[in-house]
Structure 1
Amino acid sequence: MKYTTQFLLSAMAAEQFPAPDSVRNAPEIAFLGRSNVGKSSLLNALAGEKAAKVSSTPGRTRAINFFALLDERQRAKLVFADLPGYGYAKISKSISAEWPKFIEPYLADRETLGLCVCLVDSNVPPQDRDRQLIDWMRHMGRAFVVVATKVDRLSGNERTRNLAALKKGLGTDDILPISAKTGTGIGALWARIEALNSAQ
């Protein structure tokens, strides 16, 4: 299905999150990962338009940005939530200190959160912070999918080797290789997302 994207709001506190009934209780998909892993680029590739701002400066996203995906009747069918990146050292400590106040409540308590898309860079070895995030998702019982971004930068052998290392290091056999640039894996990820609507 073809959607149009509507920016809803930027939230830096739990009370600023969109009211579920304002978007017809549409299931939300959260995009999480380290800074500069490609969250905004992936969101735009899925939406088919430049909904999220892409910055070459890591750590530029400092709020949870919510986007509604509207059907042909302009009804919200899905909501994308673009979360701030983590693990970028140059972000001020004051901003980092603020993150748990609105990010952890969102991930732990948000009733409309249907799927967490955990992004890892296929060009980078497994990171402790990524493993911690995945372990936390399992502990909280959240549905999640791990996507390995930027696979267009790897040769066939490198891709096979790096994905195997990520699966071992992150403790999961389910990793979708993705390239926002070439479109690799976008259809497979959409299938996971669309399953949320069919399950309702």
Structure 2
Amino acid sequence: MPLTPVFLLSATDVAHFPSDAKTYGAPEVAFLGRSNVGKSSLINSLLGSKQAHTSSTPGRTRAINFFALHEGAGDKMKQRPTLIFADLPGYGYAKISKSISAEWPKFIEPYLADRDALALCICLVDTNIPPQPNDTQLINYFKQTQRPFLVVGTKADRLSNNVLAKSVAALKREHGVDEVLTVSAKTDVGTKALWARLIAVTE
């Protein structure tokens, strides 16, 4: 089903999170990952538009950006969103000051821990590099808090099938998960399978 994305707001504080009155209680999907994992590019690929800002500068996204996805378009667009995308700031930056980094948990952790509408967390990992400890920490956090999550391996188009299979096996082993769904924002490989998982949270 085609969905029309509409930018809702950017939040840097718990008080800024969109209310149920604004989202109509639609389920939310959070996208998380290390700096330059390709998060914004994947979101844009899924939405079919450049809603999420992409940059070569690590750490450009410093707010949680919310996008409402509606059925239909124009006058026929349904008022209640089918789904909400939440684009969270990345982690593992080298070029962001520690003072700014220290501020992020104040609004990110409450979102992940307490947001009732949060239905699924998409943990993005780079298939082109070895498994990263801070990715493991995030995944372990979701296991401990029992938040539904899905590990998605990005930039799959850059690897041969054989190398990609070895990368996925290493990611599964190091992160302690049974599944890593591989995608490419550049070629759209895997995005249909990912969409199926996203739509499933609305059913």
Q: 2: distance between equivalents of 1:70 and 1:94?
A: 37
Post-superposition CA distance 1:12-34 (Å, at most 9, x none) = 00000000221110100000010
Percent identity, aligned pairs only, is: 61
Count of aligned positions: 198
- The alpha-carbon deviation at position 142 of structure 1 amounts to 0.3
The normalised TM-score by structure 2 is 0.96
Q: 1: distance between equivalents of 2:12 and 2:2?
A: 30
* 1:74 has 2:78 as partner: yes
2:38 aligned partner: 38
Question: Which stretches in structure 1 are left out of the alignment for 5+ residues?
Answer: none
1:186 aligned partner: 191
The normalised TM-score by structure 1 is 0.97
1:137 aligned partner: 142
Q: 2: distance between equivalents of 1:157 and 1:131?
A: 24
The structure 1 segments of at least 4 consecutive aligned residues displaced by more than 6 Å after TM superposition are: none
Post-superposition CA distance 1:127-179 (Å, at most 9, x none) = 10000000000111100000000010001111111111111111112110110
1:95 aligned partner: 100
Q: 1: distance between equivalents of 2:46 and 2:156?
A: 16
2:152 aligned partner: 147
- Residues 3-22 of structure 1 correspond to what in structure 2 (within 5 A)? 3-22=3-22
State the AA in 1 paired with 2:185.
A
Question: Which stretches in structure 2 are left out of the alignment for 5+ residues?
Answer: none
2:179 is aligned, of 174, 178, 185, to 174
- The alpha-carbon deviation at position 89 of structure 1 amounts to 1.6
Q: 2: distance between equivalents of 1:25 and 1:70?
A: 13
User: RMSD over aligned Cα, in angstroms?
Assistant: 0.8
1:118 is aligned, of 113, 123, 134, to 123
- The alpha-carbon deviation at position 74 of structure 1 amounts to 3.2
Q: 1: distance between equivalents of 2:42 and 2:110?
A: 24
State the AA in 1 paired with 2:46.
L
